[in-house]
Structure 1
Amino acid sequence: MSNQRLWDISPPVHEGAPVFPGDTPYRQRWAATIAPGCPVNVSEISLSPHVGAHADAPLHYDPAGAPIGEVALAPFLGRCRVIHAIERGPLIEWAHIAHALDDLPPRVLVRTYRRAPVERWDGALAAYAPATIERLAALGVTLVGIDTASIDPADSKTLDSHQVIRRLGLRVLENLVLDEVPEGDYELIALPLKLVSADASPVRAVLRELNPESP
């Protein structure tokens, strides 16, 4: 049995969990409860696929883009690097992450918060500068992640960083919780659900300590 440490980097999802203003919040009701004649509890939930840690589909920012159920899983599974750029917003510039780019794996997650605001919406969230994503892609990065609700500023109407992702065919994870994760390399596991027509999917994002025997 493996003794590799795991970090759960997903925020809690519950009624009252923060969502982008105007987005559908998480709601749950009980369709059935254990009682005489009913042996199970069964719940019914409604939510935006952008609640909690989630993977955006190309359909989210491109009317002709693929839904999340058609997106390949490989980018969401494998070696990644966590880089700290804490309180360096509003945009994560190249200079903020340049200290941690040697021998870069194909997945990069950036921590911007000292303590992620998992119980409230943060309209002043930090985002990626589009040029930072461009340069990461040039180094072979295929997935970028962040511990805020968006890779673009909350008030952006042009979604410049999402458009870089679209143009270069990258994948994105948002709303991660990296508070307890030191800078360094890990194995990322953050698979989206096979929602065949959705613009995003919740993920249970975890990081696993790398096996010292792995290449």
Structure 2
Amino acid sequence: MGVWIDISQPINNNLACWPGDQSFHFHTPVTKEMTGSVNIGRITTSTHVGTHADAPYHFMEDGKRILDLEIDRYIGPCKVIDLSAFDEIDETALKSKVKEDTERLLIRTSLPNNPEQFPTDVTPITSDGAAYMHFLGVKLVGVDTPSVDPLSSKELVGHHALFKHDINILENVMLDQVVEGDYEMIALPLPLQDADGSLVRAVIKPINGGNHDAK
């Protein structure tokens, strides 16, 4: 039987964030010494630090918020594929790895997992890549980068193409030590009623006890 593998970025005060965005900060303004009984922590953060889910409201004024999204998308079988040899996540790249139907797809790119360093470049998802995912029946895609679009993009072609094909987005999953294969996934966002995104604790477990343990 496989064990659960945590593919979330550790959340701490050294976690890299999008330049200009609110970084994550945790502190304990109320201590047991002060109260006589408990410590009470406080966090300040963007909704898009670490491993997180995007809601359509993130890039569309009239888009759904996190609590509006179908929770089933974030629980169930998924496939992990390695596209680190490609500069784009397009139809050609995807066809090289997956041709059968899959509802959830996690994609490793050439970007090393380094939660404390914000990257200068990422591997984007293209319009034809999103269309091919739709053909496969994908309802959720996760990437090991902070965006499915080039970091300088204002058009956000990947975000909008995925929305067009009803595909939810996970970003900053940690896949460097995960081998390709079929897994069960739990990656639940918080029930934030009005939010454009949410931090996520993402875990996967090999299906049928296959040889899919972390490297």
TM > 0.5 fold call: yes
Amino acid at match of 1:129: T
Assess if the C-alpha contact under 8 Å between 1:76 and 1:189 holds in 2: yes
* Separation of aligned partners in 1, 2:145 and 2:2: 27
Structure 1 residues 198 and 37 mapped into 2: Cα distance closer, same or farther (>3 Å)?
closer
* Separation of aligned partners in 2, 1:99 and 1:70: 34
* Separation of aligned partners in 1, 2:27 and 2:35: 19
Between the two proteins, the alignment pairs up a number of residues equal to: 210
Q: Secondary structure at the match of 2:162?
A: helix
Which residue is 1:86 aligned to?
84
Check if 1:53 corresponds to 2:18.
Answer: no
Cα offsets for 1:155-195 (capped at 9, x unmatched): 10100011112222210100110011111110111011000
Structure 1 residues 12 and 64 mapped into 2: Cα distance closer, same or farther (>3 Å)?
same
Which residue is 1:104 aligned to?
101
Which residue is 1:24 aligned to?
22
Q: In percent, how many aligned pairs have the same letter?
A: 35
Check if 1:126 corresponds to 2:116.
Answer: no
Q: Secondary structure at the match of 2:32?
A: coil
| Deviation, structure 1 residue 52 | 0.5
Which residue is 1:34 aligned to?
32
Gaps of 5+ in 2: 210-215
Structure 1 residues 61 and 114 mapped into 2: Cα distance closer, same or farther (>3 Å)?
closer
Q: Secondary structure at the match of 1:59?
A: helix
* Separation of aligned partners in 1, 2:41 and 2:34: 18
Amino acid at match of 1:88: F
Cα offsets for 1:22-56 (capped at 9, x unmatched): 11100122121122642111111110011100000
Equivalent position to 1:206, from 203, 208, 212: 203
| Deviation, structure 1 residue 114 | 6.1
Structure 1 residues 36 and 142 mapped into 2: Cα distance closer, same or farther (>3 Å)?
closer
* Separation of aligned partners in 2, 1:149 and 1:110: 13
* Separation of aligned partners in 2, 1:65 and 1:27: 28
| Deviation, structure 1 residue 128 | 1.2
RMSD: 1.7
* Separation of aligned partners in 1, 2:172 and 2:195: 18
Gaps of 5+ in 1: none
Equivalent position to 2:71, from 61, 70, 73: 73
The 5 Å alignment of 1:136-215 reads 136-211=133-208
Runs (4+) of structure 1 exceeding 4 A deviation are none
Amino acid at match of 2:133: L
Assess if the C-alpha contact under 8 Å between 2:113 and 2:176 holds in 1: yes
Amino acid at match of 2:95: A
Q: Secondary structure at the match of 1:196?
A: coil
